[in-house]
Structure 1
Amino acid sequence: MITSERMAAVDRNAEALGVPRKQLMESSGNAVARAVRRLADPGASIAVVAGRGNNGGDALVAARFLDGYDLTVHLLGRPETIATEIARENWTALEAAECDAKTVTDSADIALGDPEIVVDAMLGTGVTGELREPEATAAEAINRADATVLAVDVPSGVDADTGEAAGRSVDADHVVTFHDDKPGLASVDADVTVAEIGIPQAAERFTGPGDLLALGRPEQSHKGDFGEVLVVGGGPYSGAPALAAHAALRAGADLVRVACPESIASEVQGYSENHILRPYDGTRLTPADVDRVLSLAADHDAVVVGPGLGSHAETLAAVGDFLSAYDGTAIVDADALQVVPEVETDATLLCTPHQGELQQMGGETADDWRARADLVAEFAADLGHVLLVKGAYDVVADGDDRRVNRTGNPGMTVGGTGDVLAGAAGALACVRSPFEAAAVAAYANGRAGDAAVDDNGYGLVASDLVDRLPAALREGDR
């Protein structure tokens, strides 16, 4: 089962893997035509009601495969307003074939006749909310028709994720949906067929540009809408918390604060005027500092714990005390990871070990990425937390799902790239689930590293990745 958001990502990832969307539309349309042929004898009257998006494009393809039927296509709107190039191409192909194709520019003009089958292809899985005109009137006309109704992907007006309708919706008898079942179809009183359309499994398994699609922002946005991150780090090292904090900002967090020892506060502040410091006394984190850190953490959407903290016994005890008392979202990195297997916490943890740290935590690894993905998934299930295990192929797992990231290069063995990843994951965890945040952070971090190597060769430093994160998080770049 797949949500509409994830389906859009997989569709885009398939394209990045070399499977063109036009090819997928051709397969989808063929599947719709097969469904029609199962429902109607040759010569039966068919009315196709097509919207101007790719859902309508699927039906336009289907019409080409239904020459043996008395078929009429009703396009809701002017052809020049068809939203995608591939859907426009299929409208042009129908016109060239002299198919009976009509345009409906006024909802009052919707007249389906007396068809035996109506194909509802007005709106697909990515559209929610109440139907507008002319779709609302078209839905009424479809429901009034004494015909069997076949919906393409999801009945128009029905939310593919919830099965709910905000207003009018098409009452379908049959649904042909693509690639995988949709959660909302369980609530639809219709016969549902899932059609394979050629999307490779790799489009779901591997991260890709589609994973970035959900990061868009509405026009009416306000400070704080995209999260506030607290970085708890530093002591023996000052660069690590500074890198993590700056990466969180570059990955889209609205505000980032750093809780660090007073002894390194000036160094962390000196890295960027954008950092907000919340120092505590001393030279390292100790149990005496935990109450203050907890108080700070309560005002943030996510906490990044670990960069530069070191492994002093008092510091590790403090990390354990913090995680035991904290109930928010935390990204745990570096030396702090060794505390995780023994701590009982209500917090939602995203742990970001490299393979050596994974083994120190009690997990296992393997040279083959497939075997390693299985081992990481098993250990994530045992821990009850999300794991992002860094390597040539990064593995993200939460016990139920897994994803593999292939961006990145050998130049990223330089110190600090993990701090950048942890900071980016912290920002993304403010707006996405920890699992999705981990997958996107791994993809973008590796993509930034690839851009740095393209520009400078293998002499990159971690700050090169930070500067390239904004571009790496844009779907259309590179």
Structure 2
Amino acid sequence: MATLTAAHPLYLAEQVRELERRFIAAESDGFALMRRAGEAAYQLLRARWPQARRLCVLCGGGNNGGDGYVVAALAAADGLAVDLIALKPVHSLAGDARRAAELAAEAGVEPVAWHDELTLDGEVIVDALLGTGATGAPREPFAAAIEQINAAERPVLAIDVPSGVDVDTGEILAAAVNAAITITFIGDKPGLHTGAALDVVGDVIHDALGTRALDVADVRPVGWLQDRTWLRQALPRRTPNSHKGAHGHVLVVAGAPGMGGAALMTSEMVARVGAGKVSLATDAAHVAASLTRFPEIMARGVRGAPDLAPMIEAANVIAVGPGIGSGAWGEAALASVLSADKPCVVDADGLNLLVKHWQGTRRDDWVLTPHPGEAARLLDCSTAEVQRDRRGAVIALQRRWGGTVVLKGAGTLITDGERLELCPYGNPGMASGGMGDALTGIVAGLLGQLGEPDLAARIGVMIHALAADAAAADGGERGLLASDLASYARLLANP
């Protein structure tokens, strides 16, 4: 598997607590780490809202609340008015959190005990209610405080995590604080970058507080946040003497009767990311349109396995599934592809046919690209279960089906069983028909050139998402079409 540098590790909450314990032991001063966290949060707040003169800081117990008390102390020392609201009585605090509360008191900030009639008047609200150690749905009085924060409609800085978000999974069990910015400490967390959490985390800023988590070798990251600098590493310039045969011959098997659009979009993306040759096996009714729109693509109408066999023989990578339907045409097409034992990308109807006819099949040389609904069928569970723990779902998919699995959606996840990556790019404009077909084509086109399914999937997901971001930046998210990505994908494939 190709190794790409500039990696950004992701850790579960329990791992971050262990890292924090190690770093505190090394410094012999846990309060110093808490002060650095509060200082980082306050500096971020001042940089984002420099005109704010009044803050409302809500503190729970434990270290997260302690960070909030440090913010309150710093803000008061800076001349800001601070409304400090305590969800836990100060006398019940212990350790570093108690010291932080005393620091706020020394700065002249006295906490007010939470009650339901409180009005949150700060120009900026600081959420230091529930940290990464919180589990389950928020209980009272935290649930009421979360409701009040959101009702105030003021910008919110969340410390470490918006209260109510599960930092391991991204799940929101009941309600969560809707933050404008989340600053998270020590190690970054997967749940801040995928699933329902993306609706509430705002801009996520990671501050290691001067520590180096990767130096703790026995606490291994559970995943890595992707970095667009990987494009240049994975896609170097071609040599002057290269030729089309050196860049892959990709066969797209797509487009049962009446579904030619999927075939066209997939094929175009294969070509736009640089495949040397592109063939399209589709229903005969779509051939004329294919040749008119893309004369560079070798389109042929196929009625069944005998027509498909020579096309499969000529290709070295196959993309199958978009628009093949669930009937006899699609079944025969997928059966032919699977029996060829060539690297392939399977999506859309191809995934549903796998569930129907090829249960128990595992391969190392394929890439599966399900959306949450398709993932649920592949795992024989509900879509809601997939979305509750997307990281767990993509791992389960890879264990059951093998190869490399791409779980699409907000915060797309990719794993080959050894390494898990999370894509931080993309936008809501991608929620439109054909986007999955575009991804299939991009991954297949890269697979033909790179030869590694996992690398093609990882880089393909990034190109797909970054192309959508570029298209949205030029024309907006609403009305973004899959075919809009083609020219941007070509640029990104030439970093």
TM-score range, shorter chain: 0.5 to 0.7
Aligned residue number for residue 257 of structure 1 = 279
Mapping for residues 48-447 of structure 1, pairs under 5 Å:
205-212=224-231, 213-216=233-236, 217-235=238-256, 236-281=258-303, 289-312=304-327, 314-341=328-355, 342-343=357-358, 344=361, 348-362=365-379, 371-430=389-448, 431-447=450-466
List structure 1 segments (4+ residues) > 4 angstroms apart after TM superposition: 195-204, 344-347, 363-370
Shift, 1:201, TM fit: 8.2
For the Cα contact (< 8 Å) 2:223–2:420, is it kept in 1? no
Give distance in 2, aligned partners of 1:453 and 1:201. Answer: 36
Describe the superposition over 1:284-320 as per-residue Cα deviations: whole angstroms up to 9, x where unpaired: xxxxx113323211211211111221222x1343144
SS in 2 for 1:224: helix
Give distance in 1, aligned partners of 2:467 and 2:251. Answer: 23
Give distance in 2, aligned partners of 1:345 and 1:261. Answer: 28
Could you say if the C-alpha distance between residues 345 and 401 of structure 1 is closer, same or farther in structure 2, counting changes exceeding 3 Å?
Answer: closer
SS in 2 for 1:220: coil
Aligned residue number for residue 10 of structure 1 = 5
Could you say if the C-alpha distance between residues 439 and 464 of structure 1 is closer, same or farther in structure 2, counting changes exceeding 3 Å?
Answer: same
User: What amino acid sits opposite 1:470 in the alignment?
Assistant: R
SS in 2 for 1:399: coil
Could you say if the C-alpha distance between residues 322 and 345 of structure 1 is closer, same or farther in structure 2, counting changes exceeding 3 Å?
Answer: farther
Give distance in 1, aligned partners of 2:397 and 2:386. Answer: 17
Could you say if the C-alpha distance between residues 10 and 345 of structure 1 is closer, same or farther in structure 2, counting changes exceeding 3 Å?
Answer: closer
Describe the superposition over 1:373-405 as per-residue Cα deviations: whole angstroms up to 9, x where unpaired: 122112211112321111011111222322111
For the Cα contact (< 8 Å) 2:364–2:404, is it kept in 1? no
SS in 2 for 1:225: helix
For the Cα contact (< 8 Å) 2:346–2:369, is it kept in 1? yes
Give distance in 1, aligned partners of 2:490 and 2:338. Answer: 34
For the Cα contact (< 8 Å) 2:269–2:486, is it kept in 1? yes
User: What amino acid sits opposite 1:471 in the alignment?
Assistant: L
User: What amino acid sits opposite 1:329 in the alignment?
Assistant: P
Give distance in 1, aligned partners of 2:363 and 2:403. Answer: 11
The answer to whether 1:462 aligns with 2:476 is no
Shift, 1:438, TM fit: 0.8
Give distance in 2, aligned partners of 1:393 and 1:355. Answer: 12
For the Cα contact (< 8 Å) 1:445–1:469, is it kept in 2? yes
Structure 2, gaps ≥5 residues long: 10-212
Give distance in 2, aligned partners of 1:339 and 1:386. Answer: 18
Structure 1, gaps ≥5 residues long: 16-194, 282-288
Give distance in 2, aligned partners of 1:359 and 1:367. Answer: 8
Q: What TM-score do the two structures reach when normalised by structure 1?
A: 0.54
Give distance in 2, aligned partners of 1:291 and 1:405. Answer: 40
Describe the superposition over 1:86-112 as per-residue Cα deviations: whole angstroms up to 9, x where unpaired: xxxxxxxxxxxxxxxxxxxxxxxxxxx
User: What amino acid sits opposite 1:447 in the alignment?
Assistant: L
| Aligned residue-pair number | 283
For the Cα contact (< 8 Å) 1:14–1:203, is it kept in 2? no
For the Cα contact (< 8 Å) 2:446–2:460, is it kept in 1? yes
* Higher mean displacement: 336-345 or 354-363: 336-345
Give distance in 2, aligned partners of 1:263 and 1:368. Answer: 37
SS in 1 for 2:425: coil
For the Cα contact (< 8 Å) 1:327–1:345, is it kept in 2? no
User: What amino acid sits opposite 1:338 in the alignment?
Assistant: N
Aligned residue number for residue 23 of structure 1 = none
User: What amino acid sits opposite 2:371 in the alignment?
Assistant: H
Shift, 1:362, TM fit: 2.4
Shift, 1:244, TM fit: 0.6
Could you say if the C-alpha distance between residues 245 and 202 of structure 1 is closer, same or farther in structure 2, counting changes exceeding 3 Å?
Answer: farther
Give distance in 2, aligned partners of 1:358 and 1:440. Answer: 21
Give distance in 2, aligned partners of 1:416 and 1:305. Answer: 14
Give distance in 1, aligned partners of 2:230 and 2:386. Answer: 24
For the Cα contact (< 8 Å) 1:323–1:345, is it kept in 2? no
User: What amino acid sits opposite 1:465 in the alignment?
Assistant: L
Shift, 1:464, TM fit: 0.7
Give distance in 2, aligned partners of 1:265 and 1:10. Answer: 43
Could you say if the C-alpha distance between residues 262 and 388 of structure 1 is closer, same or farther in structure 2, counting changes exceeding 3 Å?
Answer: same
Give the aligned CA root-mean-square deviation in angstroms: 2.9
SS in 1 for 2:439: helix
Describe the superposition over 1:1-32 as per-residue Cα deviations: whole angstroms up to 9, x where unpaired: xx8x51xx223x559xxxxxxxxxxxxxxxxx
For the Cα contact (< 8 Å) 1:319–1:339, is it kept in 2? no
User: What amino acid sits opposite 1:10 in the alignment?
Assistant: T
User: What amino acid sits opposite 1:456 in the alignment?
Assistant: G
Could you say if the C-alpha distance between residues 245 and 320 of structure 1 is closer, same or farther in structure 2, counting changes exceeding 3 Å?
Answer: closer
Could you say if the C-alpha distance between residues 463 and 203 of structure 1 is closer, same or farther in structure 2, counting changes exceeding 3 Å?
Answer: farther
SS in 1 for 2:301: coil
Give distance in 1, aligned partners of 2:433 and 2:472. Answer: 15
